[in-house]
Amino acid sequence: MSSDDDVRGAVRAWLAEHWDPARDRAGWLAAVVDAGYAVPRWPRAANGRDLPDAQARIVEAEFARAGAPGSGQDRTNLWANTLLSHGTAELRERLLRPLLENRVRMCLLYSEPGAGSDLAGVRTSAVLDGTEYVVEGQKVWTSNAAGADYGMLLARTDPTAPKHRGLSFFFLPMDQPGVQVRPLRQITGEAHFNEVFLTGVRVPASNMLGEPGQGWRVLLTALAYERVALGQANLGAMTRANGRAEADLVELARRHGRDGDVLLRRDIARVVALRSVNRWNNQRAQAQAEQGSSSPLASLGKLAMSRIVHETGRVQSAIVGPQALLEGPDHPDGDDANFASMNAYFTSIGGGTDQIQRNIIGERLLGLPREPEIDRDVPFQDVRHS
């Protein structure tokens, strides 16, 4: 086994030889995958380097130091990690590398108008017809649906089974008749989310992840990776679509002459401390996820990031004062604070609501009694729906 210094030296040498900021992104990502640095924790047979977590983080740190993208996808690429864990050999062969090279656009087809917090209650159906499943239903709050090549679909394949055991999980091709996408306008004026209508849509049976009826197990894996990513850095809630970076609270306070304010200094220190603790927690959650566990620690990180994002928006607003009521390019700091405060609510909903995370933490981390579920063992077709 190579030492940490050997790994660091090898990565630096490889980057010095291959990295060029002017290089086209597609060619660069292909090179990173070839070198095994895109997913350094994965086995070599899956384009990885089979490194332990500590050395994989050395790889990521060197890429970050050089300003080179593409590494660490074994922690952050929700689609590829779920496919590696549960996809068939044929599906992995077809899609795994394109996902790592960002040549396949994806979306999540989970939530429904009547099944958001309780995803086990989804009613979108998938009925086997020869070698394909025919899908009927509606999804909502779907990011990137309009441009996606595939959607990770949770659908009900057996209505006679209890709600958690009658679900299956698919990679659904989005470019086909019967897929209708409608944007949903947010309070910030953006439209990151969509509602998706599925009418007579077909998905090959070979695009199923896991076995029929095991979709809930696959979903837990996908949610764990999603929550690790969201808990680590919820860029959607802390940055704008135009690429403006997260506000540096210390620099912001200095610019507005508020860096001597004792209360603001305390609030900024609290945000910085929360970010540090959450980063360590996410490292623990990632380590458990790599062992095949859908760690409840990911829920702790997701809930913590929700608090961090809300606190960051609140502190930004406190620093800029009345400017936080203004928007537009003439008032950039106020515009950012205003946006951060409004968009923070996305983090409290996306990837599982704050309330759901608290339930998971209470039951699976603290050992508190589970909430009663009178319909848990009832065939889904017999469950009463409003």
Return the active site residues.
226
In this structure, what are the phi and psi dihedrals at residue 36, rounded to the nearest 5 degrees?
85, 5
In the chain the first and final C-alpha atoms are separated, in Å, by: 59
C-alpha angle 131-134-140 in degrees, rounded to nearest 5? 135
Q: Which two tokens stand for residue 270?
A: 């609290």
Phi and psi at residue 179, to the nearest 5°:
-100, 115
Give the number of other Cβ atoms within 10 Å of residue 306's Cβ: 26
Output the CA–CA distances (angstroms, integers) from residue 362 to 49, 320, 371, in the order listed: 37, 37, 10
Picking from 364, 353, 281, the residue whose alpha carbon sits closest to that of residue 119 is 353
CA–CA separation, 366 vs 231, rounded Å? 19
Residue 129 token pair: 């017809």
Question: Helix H segments across 233-347?
Answer: 235-238, 249-255, 262-290, 297-320, 332-347
Kindly give, in sequence order, each residue whose CB lies less than 8 Å from that of residue 193, ignoring residues fewer than 6 positions away. Answer: 140, 141, 142, 143, 183, 184, 186
* Structural contact between residues 19 and 25, judged by C-beta atoms closer than 8 angstroms: no
- Nearest of 195, 199, 204, 133 to residue 167 by alpha carbon: 133
Instruction: Find residue 143's DSSP bridge partners.
Output: 193
Contact 210, 169 (CB under 8 A): yes
